[in-house]
Amino acid sequence: MPTISRFYGILIRMFYDDKHSPHFHVVYSEHNALVSIDDGSILAGDLPNRAYQLVLEWLALHRAELQANWQNARRKKTLTEIAPLK
């Protein structure tokens, strides 16, 4: 599972063979979550509130890039690294 961004101890990853609706994986310490690209909702898992707020801020800035990566993953193409939250 490629890591496509990392910031403040948060890793953003995307699988090539996920069958669910468009989403990305978030790893923060011992927490893991699947987050919807469309609306930012947590589809599975959990995150501390502060980490989740940072992920939502990052998502708002990079939604189009995430959607493009999702399409590339479906086609088994290389994923693009996305800038971290600064």
Q: What is the pLDDT of residue 20?
A: 77
**Percentage, residues of the chain above pLDDT 70:** 99
State the chain's maximal CA–CA distance in angstroms: 34
Q: What is the pLDDT of residue 37?
A: 97
Q: How far does CA 10 lie from the centroid of its chain? A: 10
Helix (H, G, I), strand (E, B) or coil at 27: strand
Has residue 64 been placed in a domain?
A: yes
Instruction: Please tell me the total count of domains within the chain.
Output: 1
Domain interval for residue 20: 3-74
Could you tell me the pTM of the whole model? 0.93
Tens of pLDDT, residue by residue over 54-85, are: 999 999 999 999 999 999 998 999 999 999 99
Has residue 85 been placed in a domain?
A: no
Tens of pLDDT, residue by residue over 24-59, are: 999 999 999 999 999 999 999 999 999 999 999 999
